[in-house]
Structure 1
């Protein structure tokens, strides 16, 4: 027989197991550049152990990681799927000029033709990266009859000794282009790591320098085994906390603290170094770029990401037939995405021009993208398209049609007459029989019809004298 204590223990275990089984997960998290598999989108609750799968968004391709996450004890595991933007790569060589790339040759971006002095661009001057590759007419540079081309503001690529330049080996850069630098081993960066070509043709801020790293010497030891000022560390984006920067002497056992640069967060290790018998311990702190996460949802549009970490950008792109209202680009800063989520507003066409044609379907404004208006005539013939529609550019596909009365003039033939009404205008499809006067013979058809284009068909006849007709006989 079980004791009361055993029963209580069993009941507690059962309740605990039940509670563990009952921990469910809510809807999976959203991750930039990815989308949840459609079969899981409508589900709001998942049991422990359930898996869901993600896909890369349109214009992105999988570059690594797992596409699934699991519900574990009421929480979703972290998604490791990596999605990279599809690129078009190099656009080729441009004789008598060169190509300037908008950014990284991702889908939707452009490459622009820049011609050498004395040459001008023939064609559109750019190509667009699409899924199928570079799209558009390949530009060319042609001579401009000796007249030099307008000079574009550019920045010469700076030379920084003992550095490694990230950003290619292009000799000149256009306004807005950026370069980043890192120093070779044994040297440290003095100045900004990244610079941008300004509208005045100068780099902003000024290019950095790579100075020799201080020679490591053993810190002076005091009689109690103390340390001098900590030597600089090579850990990226880590700096000594300000209150220790001016201190020159430390006792054995003293600690100093380090912090991550603005926009970076600790990703492991200790931020402390300790003075031990005249030597500073090794710094193990690691700093990574701060995550900004999702930049927001855009109705009738979406964000295109260069990344979701500090320094990255998210650029809004509206669906076809919508235009962006507000600033299109958001920047990932130390405190998150700057600015606000823009709005994608439907393109609206103006009121169509007034015409004497009658609308078949009464359509009230606003006239948004793909709105169609149909016309008809109660009197006369419709000239022009019977239907016009609002295009993605906010213009109508064509001017409205008009109603016109189309007919044939009286079929006046010398020495001939016809029976029936004599009118100023005969209606389309009307048929008339013509007879020649006495003494004249007919050449051509004696029955003619008025066409929809206002012409007598097959043609007007002729009436010639019998004698003339006999001689030619």
Structure 2
């Protein structure tokens, strides 16, 4: 054996003995780190450390809920793995608004992210005056980053007694010029008068 190898050998042997004494395989043999949906993990353990440290990241479109790092010591993970929650973009609702106005929403679950409490992302659609919700009024940010059920619409509702006015309003939208609108309204008015006379 060369002099160089002879000088290194005791150190290697000593390190091996220390490793066995301080960290027998039965104590430090951590199982595979827990996987997470919509994310990945990486071993960021320090060199010569007898503690395994895993760092978690989420895929694009998801937010990390929980601690990004978890440690394993004595064959046990000291904390649960974090979760990756879906982000939903704010839906555009014409003639209406949402009960909670934000740019991004997280799929439901009452959780804490870095000491900030996140409310469940069930939102209610509120239509402007004169408009009614067509579809489910409450929607939820789902796991795949979309709204469930589908985002409803706000459509114009004719109040009771205003049906004739609404019919006239639709008529004006279908004609090309103000003269045609005026003539159509005169004809419409005349037809209403005739109908009223027939009923008397």
For the superposition of Structure 1 and Structure 2, which TM-score range results when normalised by the shorter chain?
0.3 to 0.5
Structure 1 or 2: more helix by fraction: 2
Larger Rg: 1
TM-score, normalising length: structure 2: 0.40
